Amino acid sequence: MTSTTDLIPAPRALDGPLRCGFVFDERTTLWAGPGTGSTERWLRSVLGPALDLPLPPGPEDSPQAVRLRVDDTLKPEAYRLAVSATWGVEIRGGDPAGVFWGAQTLRQLLGPEAFRRAPVRPGMRYGIPQQTVEDAPRFRWRGLLLDVARHFMPKDGVLRYLDLMAAHKLNVLHLHLTDDQGWRIEIKRHPKLTETGSWRSRTRLGHRASPLWDERPHGGFYTQDDIREIVAYAAQRHISVVPEIDVPGHSQAAIAAYPELGNTDVIDTTALSVWDTWGINPNVLAPTDTTLRFYEGVFEEVLELFPADAAAFSAFVHIGGDECPKDQWRRSPAAQARIKELGLAGEDELQAWFVGHFDRWLAARGRRLIGWDEILEGGLAPGAAVSSWRGYAGGIAAARAGHDVVMCPEQQVYLDHRQAAGEDEPVPIGYVRTLEDVYRFEPVPPQLTAEEAGHVLGTQANVWTEVLEDHARVDYQTFPRLAAFAEVAWSALPTPAERDFADFERRMTAHYARLDALGVAYRPPGGPKPWQRRPGILGRPIDGAPPNR
């Protein structure tokens, strides 16, 4: 049994708990009102096996019932969870998502055994003290980026992370599907994108300055049915999946598959292969009609696989737009002719034109473009949104210009960055960002007015995988910091300096047991276990305090 005060993310308000309460046993039934079917199925499929209970349908007025209902007097995603010794459990949500988030809280109240796939104590019955939890999210966009391009994460791993996100009330999965090091989504009209672009012959081990190589080929991709499954699985958990197809930089895997996409008048693009190291790649897309038509075809298939439906952010498509070196365009007669033809001032405006083309193309199909903050350079259509990664400045500029923003500043919420100093930390990248640092992250810059701050859709933690070669490494870098991030994104916390990190650490004691039950290979509070270390693999640690701009 778990105390309400052990919940993560922290709820807005609670009444109780009292000693008496509700016991889950063979008599417990499940009643689901209109619009709550996905939560009903989820509860039965998760709590049933964990607690060894059938949870059959039952009457609404049964004192042994768990009741689910949508209550439109509550705000979207808000919920009210009431536990009574005399009339059971009731979860009311402002919408179906709110009911689902209330069910996640119910699972936490039942204890870590509720996070297992089969009963570990057969015959045990689980009680919840009488209490009422009232809760609602601070931000609409509570996201996690998974980079499956640098190191491929098989489909089951993505589904597992959707479950982990749901357990932390996160609701947007940003899936980074393409990069120089791999193309991970099947495009039927361009089969070489996966035949050639989805695998590389070897991989740099560690930071790009490392002399070490893994000489095994690395690759993988999601079939279109895999993508449909991922999107459907996410939707059942009230999570939107935002695909990222990176243009015009970070594109060597695509150029290796289709050399005509590159700047053929500058380099021999037929000699390129999928990149096997890290960093900013000089080989970018050519600003030609051939390239535009090719990627329009790609996006047509992407839109079919990621339909814009009732999910909160399903209309968004991420086009990257970051880290696009201009040297090849400067040397390319074709690119220079395009600049002259369009009356542009130079290569920076050429990139803005490239991004603007897909901004308009997506908008004409009822979609919204989102990209990294470099896309601000040159202007954006009114509906476009910005992922602010180079600190806060891009987000501030975007919000002041009337664009919606997702705050994901590198030095605050890039979870591939190291969690502690010291030689035991595996493949240390960047500045130290501790659990407490993430807990004190504030997504809304104080420079914004209330009106401007209204453009901050929310926040996102990013997990880049250059040095994360498997799910255990992803787990280690992501957890426990994702739990702190989830509370920042969901809960109505005070200012960073006033946040009670000691209480959060106390609640994490209970939460570590949940993560253990889920099989998460998190970083222990005392430091990495011997098998989590990576001695001899070079990272790039940076000392001192990170910039906060």
Residue-wise pLDDT tens digits, 350-368: 999 999 999 999 999 999 9
User: Which pLDDT score is estimated for 16?
Assistant: 84
User: Which pLDDT score is estimated for 377?
Assistant: 86
Q: Which two tokens stand for residue 166?
A: 């749901």
Q: Which two tokens stand for residue 455?
A: 């453009």
- Among 323, 348, 442, 505, the active-site one is 323
User: Which pLDDT score is estimated for 500?
Assistant: 98
- Say if residue 381's pLDDT is above 90: no
- Maximum C-alpha span of the chain: 79
- Pairing between strand 88-93 and 79-84? antiparallel
> Residue 384 and residue 357: Cα distance in Å, rounded?
12
CA distances from 74 to 36, 167, 343, 545 (A): 15, 21, 53, 42
> Residue 411 and residue 433: Cα distance in Å, rounded?
8
Q: Which of 531, 520, 544, 516 is nearest to 424 (CA)?
A: 531
Mean pLDDT for the stretch of residues 236-260 = 98
- Among 151, 207, 238, 250, the active-site one is 250
Q: Which of 447, 423, 377 is nearest to 538 (CA)?
A: 423
Direct distance between the N- and C-terminal alpha carbons of the chain, in angstroms, rounded to an integer: 43
204 — pLDDT class (breaks 50, 70, 90): very high
User: Which pLDDT score is estimated for 476?
Assistant: 98
Mean pLDDT for the stretch of residues 495-511 = 98
User: Which pLDDT score is estimated for 378?
Assistant: 78
Number of H helices, E strands in the chain: 17, 24
User: Which pLDDT score is estimated for 2?
Assistant: 43
Q: Is 323 designated active site?
A: yes
User: Which pLDDT score is estimated for 19?
Assistant: 77
**Whether pTM exceeds 0.85:** yes
User: Which pLDDT score is estimated for 309?
Assistant: 86
Q: Which two tokens stand for residue 402?
A: 């009337």
Residue 429, SS3 per DSSP: strand
- Neighbour-count burial for 37-48, b at 16+ CB within 10 Å, e otherwise: ebbbebbbebbe
- Strand-pairing partners, residue 460, are 143
CA gyration radius for the chain?
A: 24
Q: Residue length, the chain?
A: 549
pLDDT tens digits along 470-480: 999 999 999 99
Percentage of the chain lying above the pLDDT 90 cut:
94
The answer to whether 398 and 388 have CB atoms below 8 angstroms apart is: yes
- Say if residue 4's pLDDT is above 60: no
User: Which pLDDT score is estimated for 20?
Assistant: 79
Q: Which two tokens stand for residue 224?
A: 């279109």
User: Which pLDDT score is estimated for 383?
Assistant: 83
The string of DSSP codes covering 328-369 is HHHH-HHHHHHHHHHT-SSHHHHHHHHHHHHHHHHHTTT-EE
pLDDT tens digits along 299-312: 999 999 999 987 78
167 — pLDDT class (breaks 50, 70, 90): very high
User: Which pLDDT score is estimated for 425?
Assistant: 97
Give burial (CB, 10 Å; 0-12/13-18/19+) of 156: exposed
Helix (H) or strand (E) holding 186: none
pLDDT tens digits along 101-142: 999 999 999 999 999 999 998 888 899 999 999 999 999 999
Which residue, chain included where needed, has tokens 């952010």? 313
Q: Is 250 designated active site?
A: yes
Mean pLDDT for the stretch of residues 193-199 = 98
pLDDT tens digits along 72-105: 999 999 999 999 999 999 999 999 999 999 999 9
Give burial (CB, 10 Å; 0-12/13-18/19+) of 16: middle
Q: Which of 214, 278, 282 is nearest to 252 (CA)?
A: 282
The answer to whether 543 and 216 have CB atoms below 8 angstroms apart is: no
- CA 500 centroid distance within chain: 25
Q: Which two tokens stand for residue 61?
A: 């007025």
> Residue 145 and residue 462: Cα distance in Å, rounded?
4
Mean pLDDT for the stretch of residues 285-291 = 98
Give burial (CB, 10 Å; 0-12/13-18/19+) of 203: buried
User: Which pLDDT score is estimated for 460?
Assistant: 98
Mean pLDDT for the stretch of residues 170-197 = 98
Round the average pLDDT of the chain to a whole number and report it: 96
User: Which pLDDT score is estimated for 335?
Assistant: 98
Mean pLDDT for the stretch of residues 328-332 = 98
User: Which pLDDT score is estimated for 440?
Assistant: 98
- Among 40, 90, 179, 404, the active-site one is 179
- Say if residue 328's pLDDT is above 90: yes
pLDDT tens digits along 445-502: 999 999 999 999 999 999 999 999 999 999 999 999 999 999 999 999 999 999 999 9
- Strand-pairing partners, residue 90, are 67, 82
> Residue 69 and residue 78: Cα distance in Å, rounded?
12
- Say if residue 1's pLDDT is above 60: no
